[in-house]
A and B are shown apart, each in its own frame.
Chain A
C-alpha cells in the first residue's frame, strides 16, 4: 500500500517533467480535436494518432497516449451532448439526457458536469489502479502459461459473446480477428502462415491498419450510404457555461456512484463501458429527486454515466498493465502502442520499467486535470469542429486514415488491406456484427497461441496440462459459463414468454 503510493509519487515526478507535460497537453488537445469529430470514438482516435508518435521515445509517447485516450473520450461526450451522435456505445447513455439539456439551453452545465465528473472518476480510478495493480502483479507473477491462456480465453468470451446483443455475431467477429491474427510468420517456428507468397503479409496484419480500416473507412462508407436520411442538428451552447450551486449538489453523488459502477466492471476482463454507463443511468433515474426531469434533461443522467464511462476506461488499464490483457478496442490500441516499442505490459514491465508504468498512470491523472482546465474554456472551438460539413469531414478523415497507414508501411498491399477492411467494417456495421472483437482477436490471438503452445511444451504435449492448475481450471470454467449464460438466459426468457 505504502509502496505503491511511493511508486505513484515517483510516477508523478516523471509526469511533471516539462517535456512530458507538453506531451500530455498535446495529447489531450489532439485527442479532443479528433474525438469530437462525429463517428470517431476513443479507439479510432488512438489508432489515427498512433503514427504521430513513431519517432518519439517510449515514455513521452505513452504519456501522449494517455492524453489522447482521455481527450478522445471527452471529445466523444461533447459530440453526444451537442449533436446527439454518440461516437461509441459508451456515450449512448450520456446522449440521452445530455442532448435534452443542450436543447433546453443547458449545454454548458451538461459539458461541465461531464468534464468534472470525468475528473472525479479519473482521480478515484487512478488511485484504484495504484492500489490494485501491485496486488494483481504479485498474483500474476505466479501465473503459468496455462493460467494466462485460460485468462485470455475468458477475455475472448466476455468481449465477444457474453455482453453483446447476439453471441453468435460477437463470436463470428472474434474468429475473423483470430484468423487475421494467424497471418504472417509464426513466432515460435518461423513458418509463414496465410502468406500466399506475398512478402508484405509475412509481417502480419498491422493492428492500426485493421482498426483504422474498420472504424474510419467503414464509418465513412456507412455515413455516405445513408446520407439522405436524418439530418443532424447541432445544439449551440447557449446560456451559462458553468454549473449552478444546485447543479453541483445534484451531480456529486451520481459522480461517485458512477465511479463505483465503472471502475470494478472495467477492471474485470469483461470489456465495454456500456454496462456500467447504463447501470449508472438507470440507478440515477431511480434515485433522482426530480424524476419528472428525466427524459427532459436531468443533470444526474449526464453526471453518472460520464463518471462511469471514465472510471471504466481507467479500469480497463488494470488488466492491460498488470496482465497484458486488452479487454476493449481502445485497450487493444494502447497495447499496440506498447508493442511498437517492444514493450510487453504485464508483471515484468512493472518490475523492469517502474518509472515508465507509474509515469503513465500519473499522466492519466494529469491528462484528466488538463481536460478540466482546457476543455471548458475551449468549448466554442469544439462546437465549431462539429459544424464542419459532412463531405469535407469524411474526406479529411480518409486522408488521415491513408496518411497513417502509408507512414507506417508504405506499400500498395497495406493500402489495399485498408480499403478491404473498410468495406468489411461497412458490411459488419450494416448487418449488426460488432467490431471490437475483431480488433481484440487480432492482437490477443497470437499472444494466446504462444501461451497455449508454451503450456503444452512444458508438459510434453499433454492437453490435460491446460486444466491442471486450479487457476486455469477455474478460469476456463468461468469462460464456459460466460459462453453458456446468454444462451440459457434466452431459452429461459423464451420459455417464460411461452408460458404466458
Chain B
C-alpha cells in the first residue's frame, strides 16, 4: 500500500475508468441492434443493457476515484518501475507463436520460439541452449498430446518429420505390449 500526494491524479485508475466507459458503450450499442423480446418476458437485449448500466456506473466511480486517490483505492496496486521490455518481449513471443501456427509453421516450431523468447525476456542470454530445451519440451508435449491423449495440434514440416519417426515406434510398442 502506498500513499499518494493529495491533488495528484491516479492516471492508471483514470485510464481503467475510461476503458470501462468505452466497454459500457460497446455493450450498450450492441444490445440496441438486437430484436426486442417476445410479447411476454424479456429478449436478448435486457441483460446486456443491465450490464452496460453497471459498467457505466463503475466506470464513472473509477474515474472519480482517480481524482481522490485514497489509500483504499490504491490498495493492492503496485508502484515502482516495471521491466516493460520483458513484458513486450513475451507478448512478441506470443505473437510470433500465433503467426507461426496460423501460417503452417506447426506446433513444435512455434512452441520452441515461445520458449526461447520467454527465456530471453526473463534475462537469459543463451539462445542456443534455450532453443534446444524448448524443442525437446515441445516434442515431448506434442508426442503426449497427439499420441497418448489423441488430441489434434497444429501441424507443420517438423510434425510431418516426427510422425514418420514416431508412428513406427508407437506401432512397435503396441506390438510389443500385445
Q: Mark B140-167, 1 if CB is under 8 A from A, else 0.
A: 0100010001111110000000000000
B176 at interface by CB-CB < 8 Å: no
Q: Could you tell me if A461 and B119 are in contact, using CB atoms closer than 8 angstroms?
A: no
Report if A179-B55 is in contact (Cβ < 8 Å); known contacts: A166-B72, A403-B111. yes
Interface of chain B residues 109 through 164 with chain A (CB within 8 A) = 110-111, 114-119, 121-124, 130, 133-134, 137-138, 141, 145, 149-154
| Complex contacts, B23 vs chain A, CB 8 Å | 176, 179
Q: Could you tell me if B51 and A406 are in contact, using CB atoms closer than 8 angstroms?
A: no
Q: Could you tell me if B77 and A175 are in contact, using CB atoms closer than 8 angstroms?
A: no
Q: How many residues of A contact B (CB 8 A)?
A: 65
A415 at interface by CB-CB < 8 Å: yes
| Complex contacts, B95 vs chain A, CB 8 Å | 419
CA distance A432 to B71 in the complex (A): 12
CA distance A182 to B26 in the complex (A): 12
Give chain B nearest CB distance to A152 CB in angstroms.
12
A390 at interface by CB-CB < 8 Å: yes
Residue in contact with B58 in the complex, picked from A171, A398, A410, A457, CB distance below 8 Å: A171
Q: Could you tell me if B43 and A392 are in contact, using CB atoms closer than 8 angstroms?
A: no
A227 at interface by CB-CB < 8 Å: yes
Q: Could you tell me if B16 and A431 are in contact, using CB atoms closer than 8 angstroms?
A: yes
A453 at interface by CB-CB < 8 Å: yes
Name the residue of chain B whose CB is nearest to the CB of A455: B41
Interface of chain A residues 36 through 59 with chain B (CB within 8 A) = 51-52, 54-55
Q: Could you tell me if B118 and A394 are in contact, using CB atoms closer than 8 angstroms?
A: yes
Interface of chain A residues 154 through 189 with chain B (CB within 8 A) = 165-166, 168-169, 171-172, 175-176, 178-179, 182, 186, 188-189
Q: Could you tell me if B41 and A394 are in contact, using CB atoms closer than 8 angstroms?
A: no
**Counting chain B CB atoms within 10 Å of each CB, which of A227, A406, A456 scores highest?**
A406
Q: Could you tell me if A412 and B141 are in contact, using CB atoms closer than 8 angstroms?
A: no
Give chain A nearest CB distance to B85 CB in angstroms.
9
Sample 30 A-B pairs with CB under 8 A, ordered by A number: A54-B149, A54-B151, A172-B16, A175-B54, A179-B23, A186-B44, A220-B90, A224-B89, A224-B118, A226-B83, A391-B118, A391-B124, A395-B116, A395-B117, A398-B93, A398-B115, A399-B134, A402-B94, A402-B97, A402-B114, A403-B145, A412-B98, A418-B94, A419-B94, A419-B95, A431-B12, A431-B16, A432-B75, A434-B76, A461-B42
Ranked 4 nearest A-B pairs via Cβ: A432-B76, A457-B41, A391-B122, A395-B118
Chain A residues with a Cβ under 8 A of chain B = 51-52, 54-55, 165-166, 168-169, 171-172, 175-176, 178-179, 182, 186, 188-189, 191, 193-194, 217, 220-221, 224-228, 390-392, 394-396, 398-400, 402-403, 406-407, 410, 412, 415-416, 418-419, 422-423, 426, 430-434, 445, 449, 452-453, 456-457, 460-461, 490
Chain B residues with a Cβ under 8 A of chain A = 12-13, 16, 20, 23, 26-27, 30-31, 34-35, 37, 40-44, 46-48, 51, 54-55, 58, 61-62, 65, 72-78, 80, 82-84, 86-87, 89-91, 93-95, 97-98, 101-102, 107, 110-111, 114-119, 121-124, 130, 133-134, 137-138, 141, 145, 149-154
